[in-house]
Structure 1
Amino acid sequence: MTRIGLGNGQVIISFPFVEPPTITCPPDISTGTEPGVDFGTVTYMVTATSPSCGIVSISCSPSGVVHNFPSLPVAEVVETMAFPQGMTVVTCTATDAAGNTSSCSFTVTVTNVFPTATPPIPNNLEARCIMVQEVYDWVVSTNRERSKVSIPDEFLPLVDEAIQSGQDISIQCIEPVVPPPFPLFHRSHTECVSDFSCRIVNVRRVQMTINQTTFLAGMVQFVFQATVLLRVFANGDFLFEFPVVVSFDDEVILCLPEPLDENNITCRITGIECTPNAHFLLGGRVELEVIICKEIQVHAEVKMEVLGKFCSPRPNNIPAPTPTPFFRCPSFVFPRQCQSIFPSQD
């Protein structure tokens, strides 16, 4: 504010000039309606600035909502509203603390058809008939067995002597090494090794209802068996070792549609953990806890029509001796299927 003195004693008071706020609207918007709906929903943002006085409100028409602010140097609003088909002009106004205003406008155009989607990039995929293993069911679970194992009679004198002489007895359990998770599929469930095995004891059909759907499932009884090795030490010195066979029986509900049977089921042990109790029990027994991880699959070979193309071999990127000039390796050329014969066109 400035005071100017005049000769007659009058004083003129002048106010400094305050710039009006700056308001920014979005660019024009075009959208479409959903099928069966005669309006389009649009979200837009408006920003206003006034570093000298501060923004106190922003309002837009036709929404009619007034957004108030505590004199902010920068303020923004986001509005979502439904617009009728056709073109609508939206006008927004910003007001600063000194009462100055600024406005901006943009249009919203609503059509009754969404813009067409970009067509997919053409490719050379073709319908081909292949044979694959379809997995009907795949189950993983664990079994825990806690049992009391008797020390073989020939080793009992060694244990008694070590205990009577005050030696510290410790017990170690050695688990067999199970195969890795790959390959995921094993051809025969009858394959087993001396340290662990899995076999199917019984298969029967049961009527099941899950999620209000009734179907015929397979109730399959399995026996899993593993051999662990117990080692006994006295004051850290090895005394003796002996094998212990643990067995687990389990019944599992499987998706086993007819005519699939036990020949379509594979099972295997994927992990073994053995934990012995370091204290001997009466009668020279050891408490042993064994946990096994098991995997069960139901599968069958099926023929499927898929969209695909033949694979091509990669080039040999590792340096190797160059073949003689007169010799040329054959290329891989696959014959085309007789589409008019197989698969048949219904």
Structure 2
Amino acid sequence: YSLEHGNDVFQIRPRPQSATTETLVIEQPILELLISKFAGPDPATVGEELNYTIVVSNETEGLLTGVEVVDVLPPGLVFVSAETTQGTVTEVAGTVTALIGDLDPGQSEIITITVIPTAPGIVTNTATATSNQTPPVSSTIETTVNALPPAFLTIEKLAEPNLVTLGNEVIFQVTVCNMGETAATNVVAVDTLPGGVEVTGIQVSEGTFTQIGPTIIASFGVIAPGTCAMITIEAITAVTGTLTNTAVVTADNVEDSETATASITVLQPLAISKQASSNPVLVGSLLQYTISVANLGELPLTNVIVRDVIPPTVEFVSVQSEGDTCSVSGQTVTCLLGTLEGQQEQTIIITVIPLLEGVVTNTATAQADNTPPVTATITTLVVRPLECISVSKLFDWVVTRSDFIVEESIPENCRAFVEQAIAGGRQVLVSCNAVPATGECSITVVKRLPLPIIGSQAAIVLTTCSAEVTITLTDSGTGETCTFTLLVKNNEKVSLCLPLPLDESNITSQIFDIHCAARITDSLTIELQLDWCLELVVKFTIPLMVEATFCQPRALIPIPESCSISVPMQCPTLFPFV
């Protein structure tokens, strides 16, 4: 039978009767509330979600009422959310309370708590379950929390254009990219502009920026993995030279800062160059200085002035410029060019006569209202007159003899002539006359290599020569003749001296003696035997200059208009750099 006492129920079972005694055994039913706890992922990562799963079960044979689960979150965890499969769940100041209510025998319910770890280490978390019928039970779990992997930032800086003239615009662009697997937090790029640029505009692709003097600070905030952020700075160049700009990027979860540098070259917009018509130049001859003045920029240059002080060792002759803007005072030439528009260029030509032998140095200076002055200097060598002569240098002379046989066809008309004579039982007499073909033999250098006797500057050349052979066929019975001409070629390799830089153009080759003999073959063709002598000459004409001590060719030679003739070459043509 059963015995109830309050909320307790006791089962009373009788023992079998014995002859001696009788005992009553009272058994109390098993009343147990179970709780278990799981965490995932394990290990967890700082800044990423960690889920706790709590399972509470009624393993008794009776109803459990007032079931409640309490989980006090330890420091280092930030509560995100919680839910339960029965009842309600709330969170207050880091304590999560789930009111489950009644649990039937064998019934289980699940509470899920989502948190975010804020620091690496071992996190210990305990959940406690209670009911009206059972004492409290707890479940504790330890989870490893790994530190957040550092972000991997790259920074790139561009300056466009990297070659710019004074006063023109340049654009600096800084690109910061997160190449890691973790978001980079509190990303800040600092770009300190060099002196000599004036900022006209700033743009950022995301976040905000501030400017303190030449320093621009871009706060990008968070840059997700695989994304980039940019800052674009527009500026005007104010000084010339090479300007270097450096940008630095930092983030909370990046150990070291990253740096990128870009440079631009700022050119002077006013440019000047100077050239001489001849260098060296002869004493007493005309010498022209050509001065080019240009505005390389886009903005106008005003009040442009060019001055050239002529050295005392030369005599001024004339000056030419666009618009006749030049004047001469003593040895100083001054040209008032006015305004040079962007990309505009003007030319000045000053003609002088060198008076003394030696080195003449001449400098021209250009200036404008809104740019520093620039100069151009040229040095010219003044020499005494020289005379030109030439010497033909013979390097090698080779004579060779060629003896060869060729077989050629007889033209149709002469072949019929031969066949008719043979058919009549008469002989056909053959005679020949050979002469070299018009022009020289062609030459091709086959190989350069050292050869005995000739030496290290030897070469093997291939000669191709031609001869015109006139064949006369005579009928011995009638005395009639038939004549035709053959062009015969022959190739031959010859060794000779050919020092570099000489080549085929320095070799002449020709046939100077030739003999021939001919006969008619049984197949009615002409068998021709040629024997010729070949001459090869290697030579080079060397021009020389000697100091002149006698009358020079006149600068102006009168030639009648009806006479068509070329002026002989003079020293400046043959020796332009001496």
TM-score range for the pair, normalised by the shorter chain length? 0.3 to 0.5
- TM-score, length-normalised on structure 1? 0.42
Larger radius of gyration: 2
Of structures 1 and 2, the one with the larger relative CO (CA 8 A, separation 6+) is: 1
Q: Which has the higher strand share?
A: 2
